Structure 1
Amino acid sequence: MIRLRHADFLRLNQAIELVHAEAGPRRLFGQLSRAVMLAISAETVCFDGYDLSGRIGHLGAYPEGLFGADDFPLLGNHIVEHPLFPAIMEQRRSEPLRTSDFCRMPQYFRTTLFNAFYRPLALTHHMILGLELTDYGWVTCALARRRRNFTEADRQVLHLLKPHVQVAVRHARTVARLQTQPPAAPEMALLTELTARETHVLTLLSRGLTDKEIGQQSGISTRTVQNHLQNIYSKLGVTNRTAALGQVLGRGAY
């Protein structure tokens, strides 16, 4: 059993906080990539989805722009050469795996995949996590480093971060679906126990506004918005914003 250091737990806690921070669908996987890199030092973190034919759909990365749209056809043509491909894509193993777990690195360095795609970026070592994500299917979270391998402690941290990523994606997709519904009417019987201010805050929430944006439109601080939300949750008998929206839109608690 790997024993993590105090510093590892501090970085993990910071990463978890960022994972659960609000992010719209377009920024979600970029934010998740940043969170993973915060927990585990790497040159890049990249989330990609795969369809049934194995084609790659890029979801997000950190830093942004390291890989361009023209790079992915090349990656797709040679991805089967990656030592982790059978375990991740065919066997669908869901624990964090390192390139060095499956082959000697000099062998990997002779592949077309490495020399055409990763060598120009000096990315030599990978750790990849396979994830089954709501509405996205099978997704990989790939970390890459230059000239240094990932440790067993890195593997354990990524394993601990995995369920938080899955919950964050599920939460974001639920919010996105709820926000496509019409805003709640203030006179609904469900809202009769709310004050006028709380009803206003909940209506703005149903339109997809963040706490900061609600505060700006209402002329109150973000902290006051959060206090109103806690009162709303208590009165509606829920524990989070997704469940509150579900109650208002007749979708049930999350």
Structure 2
Amino acid sequence: MDPAADFAAQLNHLGDRDAYLDAASQFLLKLFPSDHAAWSSLDARAGTAEVVAYPHYSGANVQKMMLDMYDEHPFAASVQTDGVGGDWRPRRLSDLVSDLELYRTRAFQEALSIVGVNRQLVLFTAGCRVDYFHCWTMNRWNHDFSDNDASLAQQIQPMLQLLDSAYAGGNAHRVAETANAEAYSLTAREQQVMRLLGQGLKATGIGRLLGCSPRTVAKHIEHAYTKLGSNNRVDALRRLRGE
């Protein structure tokens, strides 16, 4: 099984975002042995940042560091240049700046050095703007990521983007959806497909996550619609959520 398919097979069945982030971090740490794997979310205009690191960073307010210095990190200049053209490719910190250049930055002096990081591999999963993005970052000290690591990261990045769409939006509807799915006699697979549909994924993306064809996904959607007494996505999701 290729790495992306293996990734999906192990992670697409998880119940909520926290379980996904925990399992994904463990999988990424196996692929890219590192000191930390961190999932980050930034919306600078809204003044919000979230960093979920494995293992946990102790004694450092990494969310505040991110909000204060996101635009001074070397990745910011890279995203500003490449992101405009839709270039989301994984990138290594060492590809962007030399050690001397890095050590002169405020981002290193007041953030990265505090958490013991001078080597990073980042995989963007949503947004890819300087002031708005989701990403996974693998963090190390001194031992850099190889060309093979960068190539592997590029292979699994599309699957991470799909998984981010499926899980990173939160679980506001999950309890109601589960209860109503049982009431409407939806199968476990139909529930899974409808949950992903509710997160905005298309049949092709759902099929990639679940390891089946878009036609099979369409059949699951058709059966779920019939059981829910609906003929469109919006109405079906409203019924499933009890709205």
TM-score (norm 2): 0.64
Matched, 1:96 2:90: yes
The one-letter code sitting in structure 1 at the alignment partner of 2:180 is P
Does the 8 Å contact 1:11/1:38 carry over to 2?
Answer: no
Query: 169, 175, 180: which is aligned to 1:183?
Result: 180
* Aligned pairs (5 A) from 1:59-98: 60-63=52-55, 65-66=56-57, 70-88=61-79, 91-92=82-83, 93-98=87-92
The one-letter code sitting in structure 1 at the alignment partner of 2:11 is V
The one-letter code sitting in structure 2 at the alignment partner of 1:117 is A
Aligned to 1:202: 187
* Aligned pairs (5 A) from 1:29-178: 29-51=21-43, 53=45, 55-58=47-50, 60-63=52-55, 65-66=56-57, 70-88=61-79, 91-92=82-83, 93-132=87-126, 138-172=133-167, 177=173
SS at match of 1:57: strand
The CA deviation at 1:153 is 0.7
Are the structure 2 counterparts of residues 56 and 89 from structure 1 closer, same or farther at C-alpha, using a change threshold of 3 Å? farther
- Could you report, residue by residue, the CA deviation over 1:118-171 in whole angstroms, capped at 9, with x for unpaired residues? 2233211011122227xxx73122111111111111111111111211222334
Aligned to 1:23: 15
d(CA) in 1 for partners of 2:158, 2:117: 27
The CA deviation at 1:56 is 4.8
Are the structure 2 counterparts of residues 142 and 132 from structure 1 closer, same or farther at C-alpha, using a change threshold of 3 Å? same
d(CA) in 1 for partners of 2:72, 2:81: 13
Q: How many residues were matched structurally?
A: 201
Aligned to 1:214: none
Q: Percent identity?
A: 13
SS at match of 2:74: coil
> Which range moved further: 111-120 or 171-180?
171-180
The one-letter code sitting in structure 1 at the alignment partner of 2:112 is Y
The one-letter code sitting in structure 2 at the alignment partner of 1:94 is W
The CA deviation at 1:238 is 4.5
The CA deviation at 1:68 is 6.2
The one-letter code sitting in structure 2 at the alignment partner of 1:202 is T
d(CA) in 1 for partners of 2:216, 2:174: 16
The one-letter code sitting in structure 2 at the alignment partner of 1:180 is A
> Which range moved further: 87-96 or 99-108?
87-96
- Could you report, residue by residue, the CA deviation over 1:79-111 in whole angstroms, capped at 9, with x for unpaired residues? 322111122256424101111112111220122
SS at match of 1:26: helix
Are the structure 2 counterparts of residues 78 and 239 from structure 1 closer, same or farther at C-alpha, using a change threshold of 3 Å? closer
Are the structure 2 counterparts of residues 106 and 246 from structure 1 closer, same or farther at C-alpha, using a change threshold of 3 Å? farther
Could you list the runs of 5+ residues in structure 1 that have no partner in the other structure?
A: 1-8, 189-198, 208-232
Q: Which has the larger radius of gyration?
A: 1
Does the 8 Å contact 1:126/1:143 carry over to 2?
Answer: yes
d(CA) in 2 for partners of 1:141, 1:99: 13
The one-letter code sitting in structure 1 at the alignment partner of 2:16 is G
